[in-house]
Chain A
Amino acid sequence: MPVNTKAIKRRIKSVSSTKKITRAMEMISAVKMRKAIEAAINTRTYATLAWDLLVKLAKVKKDNLVLLEVRPVKKLLVILITSNRGLCGSFNANIIKKTAAQLADPKNISRQRVENGHLEPANIVEVDVVGVGKKGADFAKKMGYNLIASFSDFSDTLKLNDVLPICKMVIDEYSKKNYDKVVVAYTDFKSTVNQVAKLRQVLPISELDLEKMITDLGTEIAEKNKITELELDNYIFEPTQDDVLEIILPRLVETQIYQATLESAASEHSARMIAMRNASDAASDMIKELTLTFNKARQAGITQEIAEIAGGAAALE
């Protein structure tokens, strides 16, 4: 018997148990993805409303608040959002590639994305990284960027409280003028088959990028505030406008970072779901092929045995 049927049988068994695992992972990812998308959508209302209010406040008076202060960029902080675990297709590779490409171009990355920003972009930018998820932290270490913090123990259902430490650290560092610009690198969830790696400015608060991030989620910003200056004069601020701004600005940063992590989570799970579906399909094909080979081998074995018996009988006559 030329082909070992026993070995093929063993192979089929191992492939089908792998398939069971990938199938299960696919389903788990599908559930997690749905949850993450839901959370991202739920944040949208808050983000839009907070944004509306800020636009109004900004119209009244642009104060010299630390979080709005635009400085020439010498030091840059990147919040790199990746996954903790692999087996999610090209999810991590995409975001890391995008980030690396952007960081390689200091002229572009050091541009402050705000209106009336006439600051000359710098030629050399020092880059520090905050890693969210293990893969991003590994990348920063490998590329020799200074990894100032790494956050990796998040629960599957991400709550705002989970990302608050990141926000607090970023805001603190920016207020202390240790960094002149903070960007977040995340993966924008467009659909289950389409995710786009993106970099967005977080600090100083950029009207351009914040607006983009909200519209990215598929909604229009509540029709542009068409209030006149006169109407705004009627607004009462308690206790004072500065106090209100001081409360609202960090909230915007938090919301933006929270949203980025949610988008990334949704993207990660959908990328994993697709990867696992492909793996399951590949396993199915493999099982089909192996079964065919197995049957052929079995048949060949039987034919050979019959031939032997027939041969033996013929020899006796």
Chain B
Amino acid sequence: MNTLKFKIATPEKVVYENEIFQVSIPTTTGEITILPNHSPLVSILQAGELRFKDNEGEHLMAVSGGFLEIRANNELIILADNAERAEHIDIDRAEEARNRAEEQMKAVKTGEDIDYAKLQAIIEREVNRMRVGKKYKNIKINS
């Protein structure tokens, strides 16, 4: 079976690196699924869930912002701002972070000087993390 050399890195570390069979990635132009031997592509990531299959089965990952590159030699590289394996997500912490950001958002409305777009990005990211984390939990309970 054909495989794809997959590497996902954030500025802080390399999150995952292995050979995989297929991967679904959220991009700004919609979700795309990539199989081996895809033609070279460069695209922009969006916050969402990333699913990939390797020889251990399917894995979930929460990503937010960044870009991806498929090279001609069957290599897929994702450079994400944030990326986290679903099993590592702490749902409670994500929820806390979102609540904090939402409170700050309210403060913005009352006239404090906080970066609005940044808060929105944080909320989007945390909501996404929570969603992916919960989904992973459900899958685990059902299986």
Contact = CB atoms under 8 A, between A and B. Distances in A.
A49 B44 contact: no
Contact of A231 (B9, B11, B66, B72): B72
A294 interface: no
B24 interface: no
B117 to A, nearest CB: 10
Contacts of B69: 49, 53
A42 interface: yes
A236 B72 contact: no
Contact of B39 (A236, A248, A255, A258): A236
Contacts of B13: 42
Interface in B35-56: 39-44
A235 B12 contact: no
Contacts of A251: 66-67, 79, 81
Interface string A229-247: 0010011111101011001
B12 A53 contact: no
A231 B39 CA distance: 10
A238 B81 CA distance: 18
A159 interface: yes
Nearest to B77: A49
Nearest to A57: B42
Contacts of B67: 53, 244, 247-248, 251
A238 B77 CA distance: 15
Given A45-B14, A50-B79, A159-B12, A238 B27 contact: yes
A234 B41 CA distance: 8
A254 B81 CA distance: 11
A238 B10 contact: no
Contact of B44 (A160, A235, A247, A255): A247
Given A46-B79, A239-B28, A251-B79, A231 B40 contact: yes
Interface residues of B, number: 23
A238 B40 contact: no
B42 A235 contact: yes
B79 A236 contact: no
Nearest to A254: B11
Contact of B14 (A39, A42, A241): A42
Chain A's interface size range is 20 to 34
B142 interface: no
Interface string B73-93: 000010101000000000000
A43 interface: yes
Contacts of A243: 28, 44
B122 to A, nearest CB: 10
A227 interface: yes
A238 B12 contact: no
B29 interface: yes
B44 A239 contact: yes
Contacts of A39: 12
Nearest to B40: A235
Contacts of B66: 247, 251
A243 B29 CA distance: 12
B40 A236 contact: yes
Given A49-B79, A248-B67, A237 B42 contact: yes
A55 B40 CA distance: 15
Contacts of A49: 7, 9, 69, 77, 79
B79 to A, nearest CB: 6
A238 B72 contact: no
Interface in A29-64: 39, 42-43, 45-47, 49-50, 53, 57
A43 B72 CA distance: 25
B81 to A, nearest CB: 8
Interface string A156-180: 0001100000000000000000000
13 contacts: A45-B7, A47-B11, A53-B42, A53-B67, A57-B42, A235-B41, A235-B42, A236-B40, A236-B42, A239-B43, A239-B44, A243-B44, A248-B67
**What 7 A-B pairs have minimum CB-CB distances, sorted nearest first?**
A238-B43, A42-B13, A235-B40, A236-B41, A46-B9, A160-B11, A46-B11
Interface of B: 7, 9-14, 27-29, 39-44, 66-67, 69, 72, 77, 79, 81
